[in-house]
């Protein structure tokens, strides 16, 4: 999952933000995971497990839970992954008037 999120951050860094909420048992475990997984976006520590204040407020029952929120702050998609996440993000960016970024050209070897 993290490689896909990293690719989205690289591709759309000017148009959207990823915010993580982490449920590791300790802040040290969070730091270790962020380093190990090369997580470059902000990730909030939520006290471990799904009983933390953020998870409770948002109704999170398991990890990962993904919310895609539009420019108005409205949750538009929940638990989209892979190609579905790409499509949902492209839809929201299109609604904002952001031109899609063309895929990189393949070069001949």
The string of pLDDT tens digits covering residues 33-45 is 899 999 988 889 9
Tell me the C-alpha distance between 108 and 50, whole Å.
48
Tell me the C-alpha distance between 69 and 96, whole Å.
12
Using a 10 angstrom Cβ sphere, with 0-12 exposed, 13-18 middle and 19 or more buried, the burial of residue 69 is middle
Cα Rg of the chain (Å, integer): 16
Tell me what pLDDT residue 101 has: 67
Across 10-61, where does the E strand assignment appear? 20-22, 43-45
Which residue pairs from 97-104 have beta carbons closer than 8 angstroms and sit at least 24 positions apart in sequence?
98/15, 101/11, 101/12
Q: Nearest-CA neighbor of 71 among 20, 15, 19, 8?
A: 15
Q: What is the DSSP letter of 104?
A: P
**Cβ 21 vs Cβ 43: under 8 Å:** yes
pLDDT, tens digit (0-9, with 9 covering 90-100), for 43-76: 899 987 778 999 999 888 888 888 898 888 899 9
pTM: 0.76
């Amino acid at each position: 999952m993290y490689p896909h999120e990293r690719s989205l951050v690289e591709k759309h860094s000017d148009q959207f933000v990823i915010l993580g909420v982490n449920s590791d048992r300790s802040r040290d475990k969070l730091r270790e995971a962020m380093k190990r997984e090369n997580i470059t976006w902000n990730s909030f520590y939520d006290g471990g497990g799904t009983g933390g204040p953020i998870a409770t407020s948002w109704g999170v029952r398991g990890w990962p839970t993904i919310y895609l929120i539009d420019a108005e702050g409205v949750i538009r998609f929940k638990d989209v992954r892979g190609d579905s996440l790409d499509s949902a993000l492209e839809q929201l960016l299109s609604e904002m008037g952001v031109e899609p970024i063309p895929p990189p050209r393949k070069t001949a070897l």
